[in-house]
Amino acid sequence: MTRHPRSRVAANRPVRIRHSRWESLFLLPGLLTVGVFFLVPGAYVVYLSFFQSTIVNPAAAYVGGGNYRALAQSALFGPAILHTLALAVGVTTLVVVFGLLLATLLDKGLRGTHIYRTIFFLPYVFPLVVSSLAFMWLLQPQFGAVDVVLQALGLPSVSWLTNPHTAMLSIIIVTAWEFMGFYMLIFLSGLQGVDPNLQEAARVDGANSRAVFWKVTLPAISPSLFFALVFSVIQSFQAFDQIYEMTAGGPGGVTRTLTYYIYLQGFQFFNFGKAASASVVMMVLLGGITFAQFAFGKRWVGSNL
Amino acid sequence: MKKKTTSTYVLLTVAAVIMMIPIIWMILGSLEPIGELLSGRLIPNRFELHNYAAPFAAQPFGLYFFNSFFTTGSIVLCQVVTSAFAAYGILFTKARGRNVSFVLVMISLMIPIQAIFIPDYVILGAVHWINSYQALIIPFIGTGFGIFFLRQAFMGIPTALVEAMKVDGASHWTILTRLVLPNSKASLITLAILNGVFHYGYLFWPLLVTDTEQYRVIPIGLSYLAAAEHQITWNVIMAASVMSVAPVVAVFLWGQRYLLKGGVFSGIKG
């Protein structure tokens, strides 16, 4: 930092263009990894989706749209999409409603707010396997806390994870418990960016606190809300760990989501072609959602992401 | 006004207790002898610490911890470095291909790992890396998310300042280490924590690319333990769970002042 070769400035200009090639080295390690493990596989999975696979050769025979036709006719693929949507709607509703409610309470800036914030965010750092095991123990029929309370109230015991009516609900609750704090922080950050003069002005004009929330605060944080909706749907589509640990897709396939379906096709049945075509369906769905967020988010809600 | 404050506290406390129930139940379970566990009492009469030794006797949990720390630490370190370099290159250099690079990063953000694990598996198989540390670490040493995240963070640094340093003859290395990185400390730590938490807890990927005890990480070890204990000795399973979660909770409690300061969340201000 002691050298000041100011005189080199003018001479630098043509040099800079020559520099540009070695400057690319900054980009190389990161971009190379992204290329090899994300972009090339993204293209390769599309390619594989047009082939029938064998265990030794993932692209053994070209079958055109055969894998996609097989998906459309499969008795398992459609339900897997529906289960994924159920998970996405359930989790997103819970994390948005409770995340927003808690963020609103924390935004009042009362003493001790940071302790509550820490508690609400804590589950986010839990490995999903740990969260799953904790809930499996909590919901354990007979000795789990939930059942102990149910029994004390004279209610019948519930086999939460092996009952087809409650298995997905259990997965939704674990997932929402895990991620709610993340969304709460997003909303809190959004709320803290709202100009308090806006809310004050509405109050002076005679709006009650409910009207202020719905008519002023909520529109003001709509970018956060939009981001949370999109991100939670994407996250739900990718859910795997908790399903693997808690229900393994069961009972009777009611928790078999799209990711789990791809996993089963690829790594249990070694049907790479069918798994690849299901992966393409997922990429198109999630790519579309993400693209919509970046492309239209700005226009719709003024997000500066 | 007073009444409103009280009701806020009541609501917050109720929510906090509900969120803590699984954690409290986990810790209680980890401290109970098997007899207490199967007594159907909510609050046990007797506690014991022996459950915390049992997982190590049943499985090489020491090795699992080492594998998890080693792979997670390597990923975090590499990813922060490659992302910082790439973000710097995109923003503050005239590097060839920097605009194309940013477009590629944005495209990669739209590709979920769950949709491309089959080609990744084929690639790793082709170089004979299945069941190795490389398979656990290398695919994540650079990610679109890391580059995008740090680019957003570095955008807060005035270009004029960077240009002024260049005029003064400062090298890229000097600008990066003296100006850009010190002014992005919160974002760098946020990226490291989010990444570390994610990879430490990640079951899906290690499940696919490893199949021997030698490379087993904590999430798989826990899953195996739960299966081996036939989901009966929940006290042992919960003790292993508490020990598994302790390191990430410690890191989070240390780093939360950076994490909550903004970082990921300030990019989406309302």
Give the per-residue pLDDT at A305: 39
Q: Is the pLDDT of residue A39 over 80?
A: yes
Please tell me which residue, A10 or B120, carries the higher pLDDT value. Answer: B120
Beta bridge partners of A52: A61
Quick check: A24 and B89 CB within 8 A? yes
CA distance B105 to chain A (A): 8
Least confident of A40-49, A60-69, A246-255, B219-228: A60-69
Domains of chain B: 60-268 (1.10.3720.10)
- CA-CA distance, B4 to B10, in Å (whole number)? 10
Q: Is the pLDDT of residue B169 over 60?
A: yes
In single-letter form, the type of residue at position B41 comes to R
Tens of pLDDT, residue by residue over B248-260, are 999 999 988 887 6
What is the DSSP annotation of A50-63? TEE--SS-TT-EE-
Give the per-residue pLDDT at A299: 52
Q: Predicted confidence band at A12 (pLDDT cuts at 50, 70, 90)?
A: very low
Tens of pLDDT, residue by residue over A70-88, are 898 988 999 999 999 999 9
- CA-CA distance, A146 to A220, in Å (whole number)? 40
Angle between helices A222-237 and A272-301 (to 10 degrees): 180
Quick check: A45 and B113 CB within 8 A? no
A110 lies within 8 A of chain B by CB: yes
Averaged pLDDT, A97-118: 91
Give the per-residue pLDDT at B82: 96
In 3D space, the residue among A279, A174, A286, A183 whose CA is nearest the CA of residue A234 turns out to be: A286
Give the per-residue pLDDT at A9: 46
Q: Is the pLDDT of residue A237 over 80?
A: yes
What residues have CB less than 8 Å from A14, skipping those under 6 apart? none
Averaged pLDDT, A90-108: 94
Give the per-residue pLDDT at B264: 52
For the four alpha carbons of A257, A262, A266 and A271, in that order, the dihedral sign comes to positive
pTM summary value:
0.89
Contacts of A179 in chain B (CB under 8 A): none
Nearest CA in chain A to B137: A33
Partner residue facing B241 (CB), from A3, A32, A130: A130
Place of tokens 């769905």: A285
What residues have CB less than 8 Å from A216, skipping those under 6 apart? A194, A198, A199, A202, A207
Give the per-residue pLDDT at B245: 97
Tens of pLDDT, residue by residue over A125-176, are 999 999 999 999 999 888 888 988 888 898 888 889 999 999 999 999 999 9
> To the nearest whole number, what is the mean pLDDT of chain A?
86
Contacts of A98 in chain B (CB under 8 A): 15
Give the per-residue pLDDT at B37: 82
A185 lies within 8 A of chain B by CB: yes
The residue of A130, A189, A263, A304 whose CB has the most chain B CBs within 10 angstroms, and thus the best one to mutate to test that interface, is A130
Asked if the peptide bond before residue A251 counts as cis, ω within 30 degrees of 0, the response is yes
Contacts of B269 in chain A (CB under 8 A): 189-190, 193, 223-224, 304
In 3D space, the residue among A268, A239, A102 whose CA is nearest the CA of residue A170 turns out to be: A239
In 3D space, the residue among A133, A158, A93 whose CA is nearest the CA of residue B235 turns out to be: A133
Q: Is the pLDDT of residue A297 over 70?
A: no
Averaged pLDDT, B148-177: 90
CA distance A99 to chain B (A): 11
Whether residue A212 contacts residue A198, with contact meaning beta carbons closer than 8 Å, is answered with no
What residues have CB less than 8 Å from B244, skipping those under 6 apart? A127, A130, B218, B219, B222
**Counting Cβ atoms within 10 Å, is residue A4 exposed (0-12), middle (13-18) or buried (19+)?**
exposed
Annotation: CATH topology of A70-301: MetI-like fold (1.10.3720)
Whether residue B260 contacts residue A117, with contact meaning beta carbons closer than 8 Å, is answered with yes
Q: Is the pLDDT of residue A267 over 90?
A: no
Six token digits for residue A258: 């799209």
Tens of pLDDT, residue by residue over B8-64, are 999 999 999 999 999 999 999 999 888 888 877 788 888 888 899 999 988 999 999
Quick check: B223 and A244 CB within 8 A? yes
Q: Predicted confidence band at A112 (pLDDT cuts at 50, 70, 90)?
A: confident
Quick check: A58 and B118 CB within 8 A? yes
Domain assignments of chain A as residue spans, ordered by start: 70-301
Q: Is the pLDDT of residue A257 over 90?
A: yes
A238 lies within 8 A of chain B by CB: yes
| Percentage of chain B lying above the pLDDT 90 cut | 59
In 3D space, the residue among B194, B116, B202 whose CA is nearest the CA of residue A287 turns out to be: B116
In single-letter form, the type of residue at position A91 comes to V
CA distance A32 to chain B (A): 8
Please tell me which residue, B42 or A32, carries the higher pLDDT value. Answer: A32
> To the nearest whole number, what is the mean pLDDT of chain B?
89
Give the per-residue pLDDT at A14: 45
Least confident of A137-141, A221-225, A257-261, B11-15: A221-225
Averaged pLDDT, A197-219: 87
